Structure 1
């Protein structure tokens, strides 16, 4: 998977990461780069079908173990059909969530499954982004923003503020664990200011 650049966005629900992923994609396209803006779960036809299964319905619909298998299946299809071909063609892939979200949601926040998450990731995925941008946000503000969207995909948001706080702490721990690829961005500012910091984080990394 050489020739392109793989950038992921992470953060708690409502942090603004999806907006920032879109803004970055638009800015890079305006500069002449070929960009694939994608998301997880999803990003390929099969993975989008799994997305509908895991993000809708009752919060207790799936166990953390079942979710882990579903998310990994979606990620594998996404990798095969979208990410790998784009990177091989020298494009920039910008992904709204990747494996770090699974390390948090299923590996930490819904059970002590981190070892299983990493083992399955190594076996079936084996890829990490070149750069991960963690948009950090106060959990109460993030949850308020997320609830205001009023979308059908609210299953994880329905777990409440406690999960959001554990997620934020966990993401910051991941940023320390994988310090070489993570950059933490303060999301509690105007979208324009956040976007400027994100653009600066890409300095020297663009193909």
Structure 2
């Protein structure tokens, strides 16, 4: 039984989710002073995961290879970081988790959702038959053209960030589909708002941890 609380931040590249993670971490520490807060990311989060991240974000590869490596990195992340932290009663905040695989490899790349469902069950399956999932997923939703404009002003793009508007619109729609299917887990943020307005909304989130 997990005693901790698992939060993921999601959204297409350029939606602004990463801007708020550190501040949200500080908020959780102040709100729950008796809980340790672990901030991590996907792909990555472990030494092996960070090596796979470099490959995944830069090396061309078959779409099924890409999905398999994403879930391999995730399995290591769960085993080494997420499960031990949750078992110890910590709050885990991850910049992306499995929703990103469905959005990017499924929605954007067009990989079969059935294959992704199989990988999810294999990698995240629990002894009681449930899946290890975030308790809360904060989804930063932004139209593809707005995100594209923001990305053009950012750092040198990785291979995903170089993809066209059509790709990111499909990614966005898969995120929204999953949010509609899981309304109790997802909190939708209108990422067209100013950072200050977005932060005001995050501060008002009521979490039962």
Question: Same fold, TM exceeding 0.5?
Answer: yes
Counterpart position of 1:86? 85
- Runs of 4+ with deviation above 3 angstroms: none
Counterpart position of 1:154? 158
1:140 CA drift (Å): 1.3
Corresponding position: 1:173 with 2:172 = no
Counterpart position of 1:129? 134
**Distance in 2 of aligned mates of 1:106 and 1:114:** 9
1:28 CA drift (Å): 1.5
**Distance in 2 of aligned mates of 1:199 and 1:40:** 24
**Distance in 2 of aligned mates of 1:29 and 1:78:** 22
1:45 CA drift (Å): 0.8
**Distance in 1 of aligned mates of 2:145 and 2:91:** 33
Corresponding position: 1:38 with 2:37 = no
Tell me how large the CA RMSD over aligned residues is. 1.4
Q: Deviations along 1:139-166, whole A, 9 cap, x unmatched?
A: 1121222232223x51101111111111
Ranges in structure 2 where 5+ consecutive residues have no aligned partner: 126-131
Counterpart position of 1:116? 115
1:113 CA drift (Å): 1.4
Matches within 5 A, 1:17-96: 17-31=17-31, 32=33, 33-57=35-59, 61-96=60-95
**Distance in 2 of aligned mates of 1:179 and 1:80:** 27
| Count of aligned positions | 201
Provide the secondary structure at the position in 2 that maps to 1:80.
Answer: helix
1:110 CA drift (Å): 0.7
Ranges in structure 1 where 5+ consecutive residues have no aligned partner: none
**Distance in 2 of aligned mates of 1:204 and 1:125:** 23
Provide the secondary structure at the position in 2 that maps to 1:197.
Answer: helix
* Conservation of the 8 A alpha-carbon contact between 2:52 and 2:69: yes
Counterpart position of 1:188? 192
1:52 CA drift (Å): 0.3
Provide the secondary structure at the position in 2 that maps to 1:10.
Answer: strand
